[in-house]
Amino acid sequence: MKVLLIGSGGREHALAWKIAQSPLLDTLYAAPGNPGIADHATLVSLNVEDHAAVISFSKEKAIDFVIVGPEAPLVAGLADDLRDAGIATFGPSKAAAQLEGSKGFTKDLCARYDIPTGAYQRFKEAEPAKAYVREQGAPIVIKADGLAAGKGVTVAMTEAEALSAIDDCFDGAFGAAGAEVVVEAFLDGEEASFFCLSDGKTALALATAQDHKRVGDGDTGPNTGGMGAYSPAPVMTPDMVERTMKEIIEPTIHGMAKDGHPFSGVFFAGLMITEKGPELIEYNVRFGDPECQVLMMRLKSDLLPILYATATGTLDKVTAEWIDDTALTVVLASKGYPATYEKNTPIVSIPQANDGAKVFHAGTALKDGQLVATGGRVLNVTATGKTTSEAQRRAYDLLSKVEWDNGFCRKDIGWLAIAREQG
């Protein structure tokens, strides 16, 4: 099978690494890819915003299957255009990708189909949003409606912080994504990420993970795209997984189909496990980043036929098997992230992968033969272990061998699960 993978981040490096292990694979191309992905795929300098160019390349190379990694091309309708051109594609339609592309769309869907989530209101102007915040009080959550690279959400612990977040959105801090704002109730509990494939009719539960959104140790500081993750998440007991499928995923699949935009791809449900059970914080319509890295380390099955079955409506014919070990990833980010940071700082050395441990590239590039950091989140240092404690120790051991002066990381990834292990 000839496969084209769209994307250039840590998530796509993990997908490329896993796909490259498939006996079904003939050739793997990645557009635009990154230096880590280049170890597993032929990089192609395609502009993925130019859908005609992606289709033309796919036809020229007789691509059998396109896998779209990031959310932006899905929200822009790349999967629709590829499918219209007769190319099997993993990823939801533009209409279905609204689940991530518009927070308000998702909240309205939850209201229509009785999916448990926080109470909310949508606003197109600052003053009514502020009046609602004053009426509700803090803590409260402010979300830019559109795509904001994981940074458009403020969990405001004070009223002043909430009002400031509303101003940020309407003053253009998140561009067009902040033209509408969703204000929703603060949910108290433990966060978890749940992944599930759907071909529009069948659902295949994957695995659970827990992300670390805040930039600082002890979950302090501003939200980021994610500073680390581990899988499985102990808070997601078998009972909680069953309830999530029944109360959240299945009604979503049913509701999306009923509303005329059946969902084909991966549901990434951001959950809050509250006293009442699982409640939906938000949906993403692609694999998480950095959650994908830990999922791929734990997936025992061949990924390629599972994704292909999702794309071709035959998900009922496949299963996914997982290793019991915990996988844990630590994000090495550029100093200053998630605010401003220096770009093109040299990365001198990255340790080689060893048994159950690997460094995935996220924001890297080659400049004049030198590996440099080009993004906020740059490397994902990932390891497995029999326990979360062991996986954490192995990941940080590997991280200590990375030579990059401008990097920083959290030192406590996995702390909640480790606290559970230690009783």
The answer to whether the CB of 320 falls within 8 A of the CB of 223 is: no
What percent of the chain clears pLDDT 70, i.e. is strictly above it?
99
pLDDT score, position 176: 82
Of 38, 9, 11, 14, nearest to 358 (Cα)? 14
Tens digit of each residue's pLDDT (9 = 90 or more) over 342-394: 999 999 999 988 888 999 999 999 999 999 999 999 999 999 999 999 999 99
> Residue 151 above 80 pLDDT?
no
CB neighbours of residue 38 within 10 Å? 15
pLDDT tier for residue 285 given thresholds of 50, 70 and 90: very high
Q: CA 405, 389, 356: angle at the middle one, nearest 5?
A: 70
Burial class (CB in 10 A: 0-12, 13-18, 19+), 232: buried
- Distances from the Cα of 217 to the Cα of 235, 239, 389, 390, 412, angstroms: 20, 30, 16, 19, 6
Q: Is the model's pLDDT at 306 over the cut of 90?
A: yes
In this prediction, residue 179 carries a pLDDT of: 84
pLDDT at 153 over 90: no
**What gap in Å lies between CA 220 and CA 238, rounded to an integer?**
30
- DSSP 3-state percent helix, strand, coil across the chain (nearest 5): 30, 30, 35
pTM greater than 0.85 = yes
Q: What is the mean pLDDT of the chain?
A: 94
Q: Which two tokens stand for residue 181?
A: 């704002």
Distance CA 264, CA 253 (A): 9
Minimal CA–CA distance to 300: which of 327, 329, 269? 327
Which conformational region is residue 127 in: left (phi greater than 0), alpha (psi within -120 to 50 degrees), or beta? Answer: alpha
The token duo for 156 is: 């405001």
How far is the C-alpha of 342 from the C-alpha of 259, rounded, in Å?
45
Q: What does the pLDDT read at residue 102?
A: 87
What is the mean predicted confidence (pLDDT) over 230-251? Answer: 96
pLDDT at 150 over 70: no
pLDDT confidence of residue 223: 84
Instruction: Give me 206's structure tokens.
Output: 């994957």
- What tokens does 323 get? 């290793």
Q: What is the pLDDT of residues 174-233, one digit of tens each?
A: 888 788 898 998 989 999 999 999 999 999 999 999 999 999 999 999 888 899 999 999
- What SS3 class is residue 379? strand
| Single-letter code of the amino acid located at 119 | A
Rounded CA gap, 97 and 84, in Å?
17
The set of residues, in sequence order, having a beta carbon less than 8 Å from that of 164 and lying 6+ positions away, is none
pLDDT of 239 above 70: yes
| Residue 421 confidence (pLDDT) | 86
Position 286 scores a pLDDT of 96
pLDDT in tens, 20-41: 999 999 999 999 999 999 999 9
Q: Which of 230, 143, 243 is nearest to 416 (CA)?
A: 230
Measured CA to CA, the distance from residue 367 to residue 102 in angstroms comes to 36
How far is it, in rounded angstroms, from Cα 91 to Cα 51?
15
pLDDT value at residue 257: 95
**What are 365's two structure tokens?**
């590039």
> What does the DSSP 8-state code read for residue 218?
T
Q: What average pLDDT does this structure show over 112-121? A: 92
